Amino acid sequence: MTDSKYFTTTKKGEIFELKAELNSDKKEKKKEAVKKVIASMTVGKDVSALFPDVVNCMQTDNLELKKLVYLYLMNYAKSQPDMAIMAVNTFVKDCEDPNPLIRALAVRTMGCIRVDKITEYLCEPLRKCLKDEDPYVRKTAAVCVAKLHDINAQLVEDQGFLDTLKDLISDSNPMVVANAVAALSEIAESHPSSNLLDLNPQSINKLLTALNECTEWGQIFILDCLANYMPKDDREAQSICERVTPRLSHANSAVVLSAVKVLMKFMEMLSKDLDYYGTLLKKLAPPLVTLLSAEPELQYVALRNINLIVQKRPEILKHEMKVFFVKYNDPIYVKLEKLDIMIRLASQANIAQVLAELKEYATEVDVDFVRKAVRAIGRCAIKVEQSAERCVSTLLDLIQTKVNYVVQEAIVVIKDIFRKYPNKYESVIATLCENLDSLDEPEARAAMIWIVGEYAERIDNADELLESFLEGFHDESTQVQLQLLTAIVKLFLKKPTETQELVQQVLSLATQDSDNPDLRDRGYIYWRLLSTDPVAAKEVVLAEKPLISEETDLIEPTLLDELICYIGTLASVYHKPPTAFVEGSRGIVHKSLPPRTGSSESAESPDAAPSGAPPSEQAAVIPTQGDLLGDLLNLDLGPPVSGPPVATSSVQMGAVDLLGGGLDSLLRSDVGGSPAMGGPGFTAPSAVMPANLGPPPSGGLGDLFDLAGGVGALSGSHVAPKTVWLPAMKAKGLEISGTFSRQVGAISMDLLLTNKALQVMSDFAIQFNRNSFGLAPAAPLQIHAPLAPNQTVEISLPLNTVGSVMKMDPLNNLQVAVKNNIDVFYFSTLYPLHILFVEDGKMERQMFLATWKDIPNENEAQFQIKDCPLSADAVSSKLQGSNIFTVAKRNVEGQDMLYQSLKLTNGIWVLAELRIQPGSPSFTLSLKCRAPEVSQYVYQAYETILKN
Amino acid sequence: MAILFSRIKLLHYRVLLGRQSVSSTWTPLGSTMIHSLFLINSSGDIFLEKHWKSVVSRSVCDYFFEAQERATEAENVPPVIPTPHHYLLNVYRHKIFFVAVIQTEVPPLFVIEFLHRVVDTFQDYFGVCSEVVIKDNVVVVYEVLEEMLDNGFPLATESNILKELIKPPTILRTVVNTITGSTNVGDQLPTGQLSVVPWRRTGVKYTNNEAYFDVIEEIDAIIDKSGSTITAEIQGVIDACVKLTGMPDLTLSFMNPRLLDDVSFHPCVRFKRWESERILSFIPPDGNFRLLSYHVSAQNLVAIPVYVKHNISFRDSSSLGRFEITVGPKQTMGKTVEGVMVTSQMPKGVLNMSLTPSQGMHTFDPVTKLLSWDVGKINPQKLPSLKGTMSLQAGTSKPDENPTINLQFKIQQLAISGLKVNRLDMYGEKYKPFKGIKYMTKAGKFQVRT
């Protein structure tokens, strides 16, 4: 008799039948019925209609039945909150049961029921259970606090559960400690600012003690928690390391990796001269190697992490090359990772072995893997100079196999080798040329053309070869076209006499018959260069190329350091900080390795406007703020080209004189070649580019308020004219300008989107980062038709204030992401606070007086509003238009005093006293508010409204 | 700061994960480690789902199916799959995909280890882990899963403890339960759950007290064409079956403990004692458990117990090829090599093979091109061989990939690393237990390139 019987049902009314059975008098029948219900649940059937009947079975002394009912409740309570209340009494009763198993079960289940009404009843039982005599109950209750916090954080704080939880860290039972740590870290993640896990040497000591005794899962929580601690000196770091190292021998790979994280992080604090440092390095290798003998899924995660570790501390695994050799039945995802690490570990000492392996892999069946193996040979050649010759001959062997994709891949990497070691291996060109016809992939064709152009003087029939490509010029992909253009110009400069016709032909093809702007621009530039000053042309086109970097695909050091802090997490699998893919509270806390703390702090906060400066609504394109996002975006652009800047200054000057702004497009459009090279053609170091890109984005914006026209309509609050938020050059041709408005209670963001690119844009979407007042789009960005080049669309995006809240600096900073079919762009802008002033912001006089007195004087801020020649009444009516209400007006000693109130969308009241001296254009504004940080922005709003 | 429209752009992992960019917006929900679990069979049916928090629609598995489709074989499905709102972490065991749904940044190894533990528990409970068995025991499965995880925190993953909470089904118990109406849910708090030795329950009683230890070594090796070793390593484990009354305290010592420089212990082993004396001292769990696993790395010389002589020749523009392999013992310390099995994936160009083995059975599947030869025991006096011809596709050039030969074998009474147990002592209890040690060497991933 098996459980599969629970799945068999009669055709007519399964639910009906179950209902009858659930209400049966016989215990046994009831239990069977509940089992049937659970069985249906496991296969995703909706049995929520049975809720009242199942809940009726709850009051039983049969533990199994009780458990089953609890299982059901957890699944469906959310959808039937009113019904769930029926269960509360039983829960509360069960929390008092003499059997600890039942007490724990009840408190655990209650915590899983995410219904507000239930949580109220949960507090008392939970408080008792947190202090229960039985550790099993305490440990369950600790987790329950985390659950409750997730449902209602405020409640948990008010009830003081957090303190009880903190006390549990000192519990006598290690399991309780582990769960308390887990719960606290979970809560701390959603409240990064709160100092919940107050780590100090004493609590660390407790954790380390518990580490030895609790379960494997608890050890992971504790280790992850330890990793966030900042030891005060190297001695403390060492003593923690000493106590963590035994975890490296744990059978659970997650424990091992978490321990590796702690050690990698704290090692940073140890002096390299220390004996212990060397010991630690030695201890790290074996566990990492052992991870590779685990199941493939574990191996994959381990390999991704080892990839980081090898970049940070190559010495740990330098002797372990062989464990990364690929077995032919490894899953493909393991193979590719192993290959990557092999190249990172390749050195002069082991290169022979590595090459032999790579050659072996190049004859495997899996195409992706073979390609990567061939590329790896090229990377070895570039990395280990001594091996270059052997690599080249290996590649030649592979070309002889005539396997199409192997040949193409080999040619692409040989081109890189030529770049790295010029004038050394040109003897192989003949062999390469034999394979010309078989190349059908753009990258390989472009590489081959580059080679022919670069060594045109040594290839007798270079002109014939290039000419053969020219026949199908318009069918080629852009990178091949660009490459062909450059190659023929090179050829012409080297052998001008025989190739004049050819160069004419390619220039006309590129400039007249092509609709690709990059190609046209490049064609014109060459044309003009050649016709005005062939000597300059020679210097530009045949300039010495910058060296290519030895190590490719390296993770940028600051990112690497951050990722080291995330060893063992998803971030380490994706090699991106969690901020890049988890939009959660965690995002705010950047982790950093110990010695770097100071610098990373300051880098995090977005550039705040210098204090005292006039408020200007400047749009800041986020990458310029030098924060992590910028790094990330740069990262996508491929590895930077290392080496000295290109060309001599005279060449650069000449080029600029001759061509003006056109040169940058020539430089930029150099897309051919692998990212390792940064383009085989004419490559400029990236630093040169910005200079050619015109004024910096923020420079041309000017002061918004100077531009203001007669906008401020009476129907709503003042609306500033649109300013450019995202300049086209920062967003691949998409220019966004906009402003904020508030009309009869509705906030909207009025946008002007202009397509300044040459391709059609579509699929627009917008999103805001969490901000101080929870501003969020109330509807998706509705742009129905695709945006054609040079077309502009005006759109008003309704906003609400129910989004997630996170305090920004400055307070009214709003970070926006806009997506289209081309890319995702980020910018930030400052919104005027008055869009948040609500319509019912008028306070009663009495109330006003009482509140004014009630707010402490420290909260009062005074500002001067200059050059505003308005009368008190005009001021009053003007402000009222923007929901700043005059509560009372008095005349004291010839001065007009306006008492005003306003309310923000989040319910914060701001009280104001405006003193107007007749005849003087200056006003004095005193603001009182319980949240004094808004005062400055309210003042800005006053300024803006009054002066427009 | 949080990034919106975060793009998981996997540059060179494109091949792997296929989906080049997933624009995903994550809502900061509570950080339940594992949100839900789906069990999916190889034909793509979700046959069980378990949610530890709110119900996640099973449509989330569509992303998994997409990845599954892209991967040529089930084994190649990437273990981490991003979707717009979740991550799917999966393991493939016993022809079942165990897909965990997670919503926040969690250690993936944690999840994968947990999934493995789920598989082990099922196997432990039901003898085998298969779709049929899981469906047959769906309620027990559900109860066990609930017991294993609370709010994403693993609760009880030791099978010792689980079995006390929820008794595994036996035919007898099912019958008894039906008659008496008793349940298979324990109503006592598991004794081991909170003691200092959480892995052992109290009050264990046996009439025959016995402790068996199996030292099992798997040898992973890659041998090149000429027969020399490219890499070889040994993965060893000591599996124990301990049925001892009371709270026995055991020590196990080795003749040559220095071999064990890279070890992972069961939590019961006292690490300090090992560090200082190189002795394994522990209070064992009751029943079967893995005491220790170890790794003898490539740097130490690893003895290779067998060799393969091969002569496989394809010729250009000929429709016939020659095939000959011979298997022989190498460093076996006089022990017999048995259970030998040779498999090889032949190149696509091989249409058929006509072979004669000197012993054992062989098959060649012309569709999958898989050659397998069940050799059996190796008699050193008369080495087994497999000879014959291959018919090749006419007119094509010779295949560019060479077949790799995979070898399986077993050697009883030998730990190839040379590891030897010195003695086993018991303290804390008065009786005299029966003790036994067994050694075995097996091939792990043992590959010979040709």
**A605 vs A626: CA distance, rounded Å:** 10
Helix (H, G, I), strand (E, B) or coil at A831: coil
Buried b / exposed e along A761-793 (16+ C-beta atoms within 10 A): beebbbbbbbbbbbbbbeeebebeeebeeeeeb
Q: Which of A349-358, B152-161, B274-283 has the lowest mean pLDDT?
A: B152-161
Structural contact between residues A501 and A464, judged by C-beta atoms closer than 8 angstroms = no
User: Which tokens sit at A657?
Assistant: 């004189």
The pLDDT value given to residue B443:
92
Please determine, for residue A636, whether its predicted confidence score (pLDDT) is greater than 50.
no
Please determine, for residue A583, whether its predicted confidence score (pLDDT) is greater than 70.
no
Q: Which of B138, B148, B180, B274 is the mutation pick for testing A, counting most A CBs within 10 A?
A: B138
- Other Cβ atoms closer than 10 A to B31: 25
User: Which tokens sit at A231?
Assistant: 């030891």
Please determine, for residue A649, whether its predicted confidence score (pLDDT) is greater than 50.
no
The vertex-B276 CA angle with B275 and B281, nearest 5°, equals 75
Please determine, for residue B256, whether its predicted confidence score (pLDDT) is greater than 80.
yes
Taking a contact as any Cβ pair under 8 Å apart, which residues of chain B between 281 and 300 contact chain A? 290, 293, 295, 297-299
Q: How far is B381 from chain A (nearest CA, A)?
A: 32
Q: Which of B48, B113, B134 is the mutation pick for testing A, counting most A CBs within 10 A?
A: B113
Taking a contact as any Cβ pair under 8 Å apart, which residues of chain A between 1 and 40 contact chain B? 1-4, 6-7, 27-28, 31, 35, 38-39
User: Which tokens sit at B330?
Assistant: 């190498």
The vertex-B253 CA angle with B248 and B257, nearest 5°, equals 145
Could you say which of A111, A289, A576 has the minimum Cβ distance to residue B295? A289
Task: Render A93-141 in DSSP notation, one character per residue.
Answer: HHTT-SSHHHHHHHHHHHHH---HHHHHHHHHHHHHHHT-SSHHHHHHH
User: Which tokens sit at A262?
Assistant: 């702690």
Residues of B in contact with A114 (CB under 8 A): 53-54
Q: Which of B6, B50, B402 is the mutation pick for testing A, counting most A CBs within 10 A?
A: B6
Give the residue among B238, B248, B335, B231 at the shortest CA–CA distance from B294: B238
pLDDT mean across residues, chain B: 81
Buried b / exposed e along A563-572 (16+ C-beta atoms within 10 A): bbbbbbbbbb
Please determine, for residue A642, whether its predicted confidence score (pLDDT) is greater than 50.
no
Helix orientation angle between A135-151 and A116-130, rounded to the nearest 10 degrees = 150
pLDDT band at A744 (very low <50, low <70, confident <90, very high): confident
User: Which tokens sit at A30?
Assistant: 């009831």
Q: Which of B105, B164, B177, B182 is the mutation pick for testing A, counting most A CBs within 10 A?
A: B105
Q: Is A770 on the interface with B (CB under 8 A)?
A: yes
The pLDDT value given to residue B398:
63
pLDDT band at B239 (very low <50, low <70, confident <90, very high): very high
**B267 vs B279: CA distance, rounded Å:** 15
The pLDDT value given to residue A659:
36
Structural contact between residues A282 and A317, judged by C-beta atoms closer than 8 angstroms = no
Give mean pLDDT, residues A464-468.
Answer: 86
DSSP state of B23: E
**B401 vs A223: CA distance, rounded Å:** 47
Could you say which of A28, A333, A627 has the minimum Cβ distance to residue B78? A333
**B331 vs B416: CA distance, rounded Å:** 9
Task: Render A446-484 in DSSP notation, one character per residue.
Answer: HHHHHHHHHTGGG-TTHHHHHHHHHTTGGGS-HHHHHHH
User: Which tokens sit at B142?
Assistant: 């559900």
- Other Cβ atoms closer than 10 A to A299: 22
Task: Render B203-233 in DSSP notation, one character per residue.
Answer: ----SS-EEEEEEEEEEEEEE-TTS-EEEEE
Q: Which of A8, A42, A814 is the mutation pick for testing B, counting most B CBs within 10 A?
A: A42
Q: Is B359 on the interface with A (CB under 8 A)?
A: no
pLDDT one-digit tens code per residue, B96-148: 999 999 887 788 999 999 999 999 899 888 888 899 999 888 888 888 898 88
Please determine, for residue A584, whether its predicted confidence score (pLDDT) is greater than 80.
no
Taking a contact as any Cβ pair under 8 Å apart, which residues of chain A between 165 and 224 contact chain B? 173, 175, 179, 182, 186, 189-190, 213, 215-217, 220, 224
pLDDT band at A675 (very low <50, low <70, confident <90, very high): very low
Q: Is A46 on the interface with B (CB under 8 A)?
A: no
**A498 vs A478: CA distance, rounded Å:** 26
pTM: 0.66
B231/A322 touch (CB, cutoff 8 Å), yes or no:
yes
The pLDDT value given to residue A601:
38
The pLDDT value given to residue B159:
77
The pLDDT value given to residue A39:
82
User: Which tokens sit at B190?
Assistant: 């598991």
Q: How far is A681 from chain B (nearest CA, A)?
A: 23
User: Which tokens sit at A628?
Assistant: 């992590």
pLDDT one-digit tens code per residue, A533-565: 888 888 888 887 777 766 666 788 888 888 888
**A135 vs A149: CA distance, rounded Å:** 21
Chains A–B, number of C-beta pairs less than 8 Å apart:
339
The pLDDT value given to residue A587:
40
Sign of CA dihedral A252, A256, A261, A262: positive
Helices and strands in chain A: count of H runs, count of E runs: 39, 13
The vertex-A157 CA angle with A154 and A158, nearest 5°, equals 85
Please determine, for residue A686, whether its predicted confidence score (pLDDT) is greater than 50.
no
pLDDT mean across residues, chain A: 78
Residues of B in contact with A806 (CB under 8 A): 2
**B22 vs A390: CA distance, rounded Å:** 41
Please determine, for residue A9, whether its predicted confidence score (pLDDT) is greater than 60.
no
Q: Is B10 on the interface with A (CB under 8 A)?
A: yes
Sign of CA dihedral A668, A671, A673, A677: positive
B80/A570 touch (CB, cutoff 8 Å), yes or no:
yes
For A193, what's the count of Cα atoms within 13 Å in the CB-facing half-sphere?
2
DSSP state of A669: T
Q: How far is A525 from chain B (nearest CA, A)?
A: 33
**A498 vs A844: CA distance, rounded Å:** 93
Give mean pLDDT, residues A54-66.
Answer: 80
pLDDT band at A6 (very low <50, low <70, confident <90, very high): low
Taking a contact as any Cβ pair under 8 Å apart, which residues of chain A between 87 and 116 contact chain B? 99-101, 108, 111-112, 114
The pLDDT value given to residue A416:
87
Could you say which of B264, B297, B345 has the minimum Cβ distance to residue A249? B264
A298/B90 touch (CB, cutoff 8 Å), yes or no:
no
Task: Render A316-340 in DSSP notation, one character per residue.
Answer: GGTT-GGGGPPPTTS-HHHHHHHHH
Residues of A in contact with B196 (CB under 8 A): 213
Q: Which of A148, A187, A228, A249 is the mutation pick for testing B, counting most B CBs within 10 A?
A: A249
Q: Which regions of B146-256 does DSSP assign to beta strands (E)?
A: 149-150, 153-154, 210-223, 229-243, 249-254
The pLDDT value given to residue A676:
37
The pLDDT value given to residue A660:
36
pLDDT one-digit tens code per residue, A383-395: 888 888 889 988 9
pLDDT one-digit tens code per residue, A191-215: 765 666 677 888 888 888 888 877 8
Closest chain B residue to A210, measured at CA: B196
What whole-number percentage of chain A has pLDDT above 70? 83
Give mean pLDDT, residues A83-96.
Answer: 82
The pLDDT value given to residue A688:
35
What whole-number percentage of chain B has pLDDT above 90? 34
Please determine, for residue B341, whether its predicted confidence score (pLDDT) is greater than 90.
yes
Structural contact between residues A207 and A188, judged by C-beta atoms closer than 8 angstroms = no
Closest chain B residue to A112, measured at CA: B53
The pLDDT value given to residue A672:
37
Please determine, for residue B152, whether its predicted confidence score (pLDDT) is greater than 80.
no
The vertex-B295 CA angle with B289 and B299, nearest 5°, equals 170
Please determine, for residue B253, whether its predicted confidence score (pLDDT) is greater than 90.
yes
Could you say which of A215, A583, A819 has the minimum Cβ distance to residue B2? A583
B95 vs B44, B73, B135, CA distance in Å? 11, 12, 14
pLDDT one-digit tens code per residue, A782-826: 877 788 888 888 888 888 888 888 788 888 888 888 888 888 888
Please determine, for residue A874, whether its predicted confidence score (pLDDT) is greater than 80.
yes
What whole-number percentage of chain A has pLDDT above 90? 7
Q: Is B106 on the interface with A (CB under 8 A)?
A: yes
Tell me how far apart the terminal alpha carbons of chain A are, to the nearest angstrom.
83
Q: Is B127 on the interface with A (CB under 8 A)?
A: no
The pLDDT value given to residue B421:
92
Q: Which of A583, A585, A826 is the mutation pick for testing B, counting most B CBs within 10 A?
A: A583
A300/B141 touch (CB, cutoff 8 Å), yes or no:
no
Could you say which of A140, A253, A574 has the minimum Cβ distance to residue B113? A253
Taking a contact as any Cβ pair under 8 Å apart, which residues of chain B between 246 and 285 contact chain A? 261-267, 271-272, 275
Give the residue among A464, A451, A474 at the shortest CA–CA distance from A499: A464
Please determine, for residue A41, whether its predicted confidence score (pLDDT) is greater than 90.
no
**A665 vs A518: CA distance, rounded Å:** 7
pLDDT band at B395 (very low <50, low <70, confident <90, very high): low
Residues 6+ apart with CB under 8 A from A627: A603, A604, A606, B1
The pLDDT value given to residue B364:
93
Give mean pLDDT, residues A411-418.
Answer: 89
Taking a contact as any Cβ pair under 8 Å apart, which residues of chain A between 785 and 844 contact chain B? 804, 806, 815-817, 819, 824, 826
| Three-state helix/strand/coil letters over A700-737 | HHCCHHHHCCCCCCCCECCCCCCEEEECHHHCCCEEEE
Taking a contact as any Cβ pair under 8 Å apart, which residues of chain B between 398 and 437 contact chain A? 400-402, 404, 406
pLDDT band at B185 (very low <50, low <70, confident <90, very high): low
Could you say which of A2, A251, A826 has the minimum Cβ distance to residue B266? A251
Helix (H, G, I), strand (E, B) or coil at B198: coil
Structural contact between residues A492 and A500, judged by C-beta atoms closer than 8 angstroms = yes
Taking a contact as any Cβ pair under 8 Å apart, which residues of chain B between 364 and 393 contact chain A? none
Taking a contact as any Cβ pair under 8 Å apart, which residues of chain A between 568 and 627 contact chain B? 568-571, 573-574, 576, 578-588, 604, 606, 627
Give mean pLDDT, residues A68-95.
Answer: 80
Please determine, for residue B371, whether its predicted confidence score (pLDDT) is greater than 90.
yes
Please determine, for residue A715, whether its predicted confidence score (pLDDT) is greater than 60.
no
**A163 vs A161: CA distance, rounded Å:** 5
User: Which tokens sit at B68?
Assistant: 């599954």
**A432 vs A382: CA distance, rounded Å:** 19
Edge-to-edge strand list for the sheet holding B96-102: B46-51, B36-41, B96-102, B87-93, B80-82
Q: How far is A220 from chain B (nearest CA, A)?
A: 8
The pLDDT value given to residue A585:
40
Q: Is A349 on the interface with B (CB under 8 A)?
A: no
The residues facing B370 across adjacent strands are: B345, B365
pLDDT band at B40 (very low <50, low <70, confident <90, very high): very high
The pLDDT value given to residue A118:
76
pLDDT one-digit tens code per residue, A111-167: 877 777 777 888 888 999 999 888 888 988 998 898 888 888 888 888 888 888 888
